[in-house]
Amino acid sequence: MTDLIDTHCHFNFDDYDQDRDQVWADSHAVGVRRLIIPAVDINTSREGIALAEKYDGIFVAVGIHPNSTADFDEKIIPVIRDLALHPKVISIGEIGLDYYWDKSPKVQQFRAFEAQLALASELELPVIIHNREASEDTLAILEKWAKNLPASLQNRAGVLHSFSGDVTIAKRALEIGFYLGFTGPITYKNADEMRRVASSTPLDRILVETDAPFLTPIPHRGKRNTPAYIPLMVDRLASLHNIPTDEMGRYTTENAVNLFKL
């Protein structure tokens, strides 16, 4: 199989502290040779960079997750800007809106989201978008932002991570230059709507992610997720598009390279 890329893995989390080298070796053994660590705050931005300096094939997104925005202040933007200058930082993220957890007021989430989108545009970096039960507001903000993107971000604005919206939301995201990321739930029994979205998403707009250590796919659900499970998502997406697994693997890898300029 083509070398695969896990475009969203929290490899810096302490879930991997005891066996990180082995997890990385196991991932390589099944063809997952690159991954992207998304940050949730400044500390995890720095942790991701430290791991990217240690391991070949690891890249980083820096930024503030919506659930970490309660004390957001614009003074944090220059800190993110400085971190983003590291050569292995390839995105701003994960950023966005989360209405499921009540960890930050909406006004703070909006401030942080819009400020970081502006920074991404300034730095000409694509964005990794977190959207949980906030699709309408998320897309409205992104549609406004996408109208003034620099030429380098046209048609590669970013990815809607762990996509869980409906076909209409997917269409709106695709129209403004976004990719859709699919995670373990694509394998779950009750995920028919997600599979409908995935099957109608153009092959050149699909990314595969684990969101590890979360969202473990079938048949490992209930255990810690790892990048080594990426082939399970690739196989499921291939069956939805009625193409060979290797071909789907090539598409997802090429898409990640095109979006993040890996």
Please calculate the CA angle 166-197-138 and round it to the nearest 5 degrees: 40
Does the CA dihedral 258-112-99-154 come out positive or negative?
A: negative
- Sort strands 127-132 and 4-6 into parallel, antiparallel or unpaired: unpaired
Q: What is the pLDDT of residue 1?
A: 61
DSSP assignment of 5-66 equals EES-B-TTSGGGTTTHHHHHHHHHHTTEEEEEEE-SSHHHHHHHHHHHHHSTTEEEEE---G
CATH of residue 186: 3.20.20.140
Structure token pair of residue 203: 């092959």
Closest CA to 212 of 237, 199, 230, 193: 230
Q: What's the CA gap between 247 and 238, in Å, rounded?
A: 8
**pLDDT tens track for 218-247:** 999 999 999 999 999 999 999 999 999 999
Give tens-digit pLDDT for 75-115: 999 999 999 999 999 999 999 999 999 899 999 999 999 99
Q: What is the pTM assigned to this prediction?
A: 0.97
Q: How many domains does the chain have?
A: 1
pLDDT digits (tens, 9 = 90+) for 19-56: 999 999 999 999 999 999 999 999 999 999 999 999 99
- Domain of residue 107 covers 4-260
Q: How far apart are CA 110 and CA 74, in angstroms?
A: 12
